[in-house]
């Protein structure tokens, strides 16, 4: 469910017409629904209310400080993968004890920042990182709370570029080496083992891979406890898919995911941490764009929009599907036409959809990319020197720009010319 609905033939975000936002801010623009973000977070909190838990929003999905603050106010912690994301979470008012630091390539400077400023736990992904963290923590006279990320070698059955739980990926320590890694952790100064971490991928639409990974975590936890380690927390990652309209995928509901967690690890008495991002933010946002031209090509017609792959890279990067709908609702009997929907970026790959049947549109019409709230603005760039796409947050009948579009002068001023030129 989301809060982007047609009313009297026009598309609204909560109680604000999207056309009003386009007029005030221009296009392209990301628009988020406060109510949808809160509702989706609540679904995860309810799914885990059978035991102690913390839902940590994956900041990489949508890192705007306003979005992070509203989620934090609703009880979320944060999962971060860089110092920049840690600083965004802190700027949003999230205390360190509600921030989990993940990521395969943390620098010593990042580890030092997290330990000095506060962190709930650091999810360590390799023995070299474990030794580096020990050195940093010991030099600071601190103990680093650690969970080791274990790679369970489970096929998440998702796109290869977002699968993280197979043995051939860069993530985590192989399960066969996990007990040895925990023995190393226990021997190092400045390290306090608190839990086990696992994350197998993103946009997963089947519970079976999750259950397989969680069962392996349960077995490992029992073995580690037998080895004398105090395992208090299980960080089970995120990755639950969302229903991208038109994709044909029907993912499980958060309550089903929570029930699977309870079945597989509930008996261990651990606090459960989860790190959803896409399911909280994905359907809470749309990318609003305007038709520039309708172009007749050789054997195909093109709908050329003012949004490009720099604004929404997912289709070009992952062959991702986004439903693209007109801002003005088309009647059921309206004529339809097949388009390749493309952007203005000077790349052949700047394509949002091939052979997409849509209502007939004209220059100046507005369209909305649904399910664009996750990995949309967060992955946007200024490629082709196109200004970074702005973001807008809606709450009931109000909206606010939470990241403005930079001017060309501001973009150019970030460059500097050396004195010899």
- H-helix or E-strand spanning residue 117: helix 108-117
346 is catalytic: yes
Single out the residue of 286, 251, 382 nearest to residue 62, CA to CA. Answer: 286
The sign of the CA dihedral 360, 363, 364, 367 is positive
Single out the residue of 275, 236, 305 nearest to residue 29, CA to CA. Answer: 305
Assess contact for 171 and 104: CB atoms under 8 A: yes
User: Which residues are CB-neighbours of 288 under 8 A, at least 6 positions away?
Assistant: 18, 21, 22, 27, 28, 29, 30, 31, 327, 366, 367, 368, 369
SS3 60: helix
Assess contact for 104 and 170: CB atoms under 8 A: yes
- H-helix or E-strand spanning residue 183: helix 178-187
**What is the gyration radius of the CA atoms in the chain, in angstroms?**
23
Name residue, tokens 């229903």.
Answer: 243
**252 CB-contact burial (10 Å; exposed 0-12 / middle 13-18 / buried 19+):** middle
SS3 133: helix
Q: Give the count of alpha carbons within 13 A of 387, CB side only.
A: 17
Catalytic residue among 56, 62, 113, 346: 346
- The residues annotated as belonging to the active site are 346
């Amino acid at each position: 469910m989301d809060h982007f609905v047609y009313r009297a033939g026009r598309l609204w975000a909560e109680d604000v017409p999207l056309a009003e936002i386009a007029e005030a801010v221009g296009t392209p623009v990301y628009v988020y629904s406060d109510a949808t973000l809160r509702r989706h977070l609540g679904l995860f909190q309810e799914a885990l209310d059978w035991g102690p838990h913390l839902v940590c929003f994956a900041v990489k999905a949508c890192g705007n400080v306003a979005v992070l603050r509203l989620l934090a106010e609703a009880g979320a912690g944060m999962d971060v993968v860089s110092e920049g994301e840690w600083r965004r979470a802190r700027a949003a008012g999230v205390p360190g004890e509600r921030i989990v630091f993940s990521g395969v390539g943390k620098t010593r400077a990042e580890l030092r920042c997290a330990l000095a400023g506060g962190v709930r736990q650091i999810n360590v992904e390799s023995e070299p990182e474990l030794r580096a963290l020990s050195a940093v923590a010991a030099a600071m006279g601190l103990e680093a709370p650690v969970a080791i990320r274990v790679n369970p070698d489970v096929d998440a059955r998702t796109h290869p570029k977002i699968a993280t739980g197979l043995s051939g990926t860069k993530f985590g320590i192989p399960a066969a080496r996990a007990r040895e890694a925990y023995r190393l952790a226990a021997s190092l100064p400045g390290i306090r083992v608190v839990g086990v971490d696992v994350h197998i991928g993103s946009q997963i639409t089947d519970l079976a891979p999750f259950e397989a990974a969680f069962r392996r975590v349960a077995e490992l936890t029992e073995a580690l406890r037998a080895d004398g380690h105090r395992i208090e927390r299980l960080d089970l990652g995120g990755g639950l898919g969302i229903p991208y309209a038109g994709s044909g995928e029907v993912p499980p509901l958060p309550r089903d995911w929570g029930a699977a967690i309870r079945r597989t690890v509930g008996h261990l008495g651990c606090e459960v941490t989860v790190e959803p991002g896409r399911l909280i933010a994905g359907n809470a946002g749309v990318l609003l764009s305007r038709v520039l031209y309708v172009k007749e090509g050789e054997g195909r017609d093109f709908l050329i929009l003012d949004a490009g792959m720099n604004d929404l890279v997912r289709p070009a990067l992952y062959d991702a599907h986004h439903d693209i709908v007109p801002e003005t609702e088309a009647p059921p009997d309206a004529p339809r036409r097949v388009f390749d929907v493309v952007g203005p970026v000077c790349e052949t790959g700047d394509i949002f959809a091939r052979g997409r049947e849509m209502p007939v549109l004209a220059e100046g019409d507005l369209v909305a990319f649904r399910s664009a709230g996750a990995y949309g603005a967060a992955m946007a760039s200024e490629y082709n020197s196109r200004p970074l796409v702005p973001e807008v947050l809606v709450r009931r009948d109000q909206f606010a720009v939470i990241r403005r579009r930079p001017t060309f002068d501001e973009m150019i001023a970030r460059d500097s010319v050396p004195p010899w030129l």
